[in-house]
Amino acid sequence: MTVTIQISALLREYSGGVPDFKLEATSVRAALAEIERLHPQVYRGVCDETGSVRKHVNIFVNTQNTRDGSGLDTQLTPGDVVMILQAVSGG
Amino acid sequence: MKDFDKRFERQTRFAALGRAGQAQLSGARVLVVGCGALGGALAQNLARSGVGELVLVDRDIVEESNLPRQVLFDERHARERTEKSLAAKESLARIGGPTRVEALVEHVDADNIERLTAGAHLVVDGTDNLETRYLVNDVCVERDLPWVYGGVVGAGGLVLPVLPGVGPCLACLFPEPPPPGVLPTCETAGVLQPAVALIAALQSGLALRILTARSGLTPRLYEVDVWDGRVRELGVGRDPRCRCCGLREFRFLHEPVTQRATSLCGRNTVQVRGARVKPDLQRLAQALEPVARDVRHTGAILRFAVDDERYTVFADGRALIEGTDDLERALTLYDRYIGT
């Protein structure tokens, strides 16, 4: 099923400036595997070498934080928006 | 009509605030941590709104490159290299009004954060690094004190009101800060004034709400981008296993990195110990290319230069900053170019 991946502006340097793209995935874990294939630098910014989401990064499905629910096993439905967001340190 | 009532008439006419809310504001004490872009805008917003007492704390001095977005400073402050908190207090005094302003020139750390937050009803975040924010988060959760996180870089950023016991804390959302060099800073990625203004406005509005009508406020994460014209409201929940508000382990508060900066005698060099996690030197080198000179990453050492200072960063996050013997200045430069 097709979902939209949105990446925060600060990660876009790793996606060639692309703010969002579509891919086929049935779960967040599957979506990340696709991101690793399509945009390996984005994946490296999101996941560590064990495949866990980095602790300064959150993945939202629509407006809900997957960290508060099933994490990487969060199931996706057609049209879902998966947003990747990292902490912001400037001020 | 008394002068006080006349000054705040438009605010008290806003029913949700009213005269009772204005009276609550005039009795409130707010700590503003950091007094640069966000901190200056926060201080101005809260002073103009009639918050009774503001404590401004910042270790830095005003520079010309601050002026496009740091609203309380002018060219004289930059020319005279005035301490930011003192310059902010001077500008706020020109606005007038009933707010009492205390300006402190200090580096915020575990040694002084409990003193700084004593008596405060709220802390607002204008700092420029995550290490200090996790420290603020620890002390506020431990003391059941609300605070409002705000972070800005590029054209956007994040805002989260932290209401201990009610909603998530910073560590629920982001359990650990990343290694130095991973996140862009305002120096490496730039920053736009409207992004600062929007984020500070959101923080300030939430601050007024928390100080006057906290019940019924559901904490949410706000993600904004002024370049794309977007504000997103995101649901976030408490993590019962959270190190800070779940397990109540306040390690940024009780296990501080001691003596972070040390002057190397006779060398015009300061050694700065890094944060708790190791930097990603490769990514840091990439991020510094547009702003630094002589960027060289060889093995476990990264070298670069900016302005009159030369930097050597080691794999454990330790850095030597040549060209200054001022410890506070070195800490500022470390957070600016190496970051947390």
Per-residue pLDDT of chain A (91 residues; tens, 9 = 90+): 899 999 988 788 788 888 899 999 999 999 999 999 999 999 999 999 999 999 999 999 999 999 999 999 999 999 999 999 999 999 9
Q: Which residues of chain A are within 8 Å of residue B232 when distances are taken between CB atoms?
A: 63, 83
Expressed as residue numbers, the domain containing A46 is 2-86
Q: Of B182, B239, B291, which to mutate for an interface test with A (greatest number of A Cβ within 10 Å)?
A: B182
CATH number at residue A33: 3.10.20.30
Does residue B113 share a domain with residue B81? yes
Tally the domains of chain B: 2
Residue A91 is assigned to a structural domain of this protein: no
Nearest chain B Cα distance for residue A58, angstroms = 7
CB atoms within 10 A of CB A35: 23
Q: CA-nearest residue of chain A to B168?
A: A68
Does residue B211 share a domain with residue B112? yes
Does residue B138 share a domain with residue B285? no
Judge: A58–B173 Cβ closer than 8 Å, yes or no.
yes
Judge: B174–A87 Cβ closer than 8 Å, yes or no.
yes
Q: Of B137, B176, B236, which to mutate for an interface test with A (greatest number of A Cβ within 10 Å)?
A: B236
Q: Which residue has the higher pLDDT, B268 or B123?
A: B123
CATH number at residue B89: 3.40.50.720
Domain boundary among B254, B281, B316: B254
Does residue B121 share a domain with residue B171? yes
Q: CA-nearest residue of chain B to A63?
A: B234
Secondary structure of chain B as H, E, C letters: CCHHHHHCHHHHCCCCCHHHHHHHHHCCEEEEECCCHHHHHHHHHHHHCCCCEEEEEECCECCHHHCCCCCCCCHHHHHCCCEHHHHHHHHHHHHCCCCEEEEEECCCCCCCHHHHHCCCCEEEECCCCHHHHHHHHHHHHHHCCCEEEEEEEECEEEEEEECCCCCCCHHHHCCCCCCCCCCCCHHHHCECHHHHHHHHHHHHHHHHHHHHCCCCCCCCEEEEECCCCEEEEEECCCCCCCCCCCCCCCHHHHCCCCCCEEEECCCCEEEECCCCCCCCHHHHHHHHCCCCEEEEEECCEEEEEECCEEEEEECCCCEEEECCCCHHHHHHHHHHHCCC
Judge: A89–B39 Cβ closer than 8 Å, yes or no.
no
Spell out the residues 6+ positions from residue B237 whose beta carbon is closer than 8 angstroms to its own. A65, A68, B167, B168, B172
Does residue B246 share a domain with residue B150? yes
Q: Tell me how far apart the alpha carbons of residues A39 and A28 are, in angstroms, rounded to a whole number.
A: 15
Q: Which two tokens stand for residue A63?
A: 């407006």
Residue A10 is assigned to a structural domain of this protein: yes
Judge: B155–A87 Cβ closer than 8 Å, yes or no.
no
Domain boundary among B254, B288, B317: B254
CB A61 within 8 A of CB A28: yes
Q: Which pLDDT does position B292 carry in this prediction?
A: 94
Nearest chain B Cα distance for residue A24, angstroms = 24
Q: Which residue has the higher pLDDT, B181 or B128?
A: B128
Q: Which two tokens stand for residue B119?
A: 């008596």
Q: Which residues of chain A are within 8 Å of residue B182 when distances are taken between CB atoms?
A: 45, 56
In this structure, is the dihedral angle defined by the CA atoms of residues A51, B281, B58 and B67, taken in order, positive or negative?
Answer: negative
Q: Which pLDDT does position B73 carry in this prediction?
A: 98
Q: Which pLDDT does position B265 carry in this prediction?
A: 63
Per-residue pLDDT reduced to its tens digit, B274-305: 766 778 899 899 999 999 999 999 878 899 99
For A:35-74, CB contacts with B below 8 A are 45, 54-58, 60, 63-65, 67-68
Does residue B288 share a domain with residue B221? no
Cβ-in-10-Å burial (0-12, 13-18, 19+) of B254 comes to exposed
Under DSSP, is residue A44 helix (H, G, I), strand (E, B) or coil?
helix
Instruction: Please indicate if any CB of chain B lies within 8 Å of the CB of A17.
Output: no
Tally the domains of chain A: 1
Q: CA-nearest residue of chain A to B241?
A: A68
Q: Which pLDDT does position B174 carry in this prediction?
A: 96
> Which value does ipTM take for this structure?
0.93
Domain boundary among B204, B239, B254: B254
Expressed as residue numbers, the domain containing B240 is 2-254
Per-residue pLDDT reduced to its tens digit, B2-42: 788 899 999 999 999 999 999 999 999 999 999 999 999 99
Does residue B83 share a domain with residue B16? yes
Nearest chain A Cα distance for residue B61, angstroms = 15
Q: Which pLDDT does position B266 carry in this prediction?
A: 65
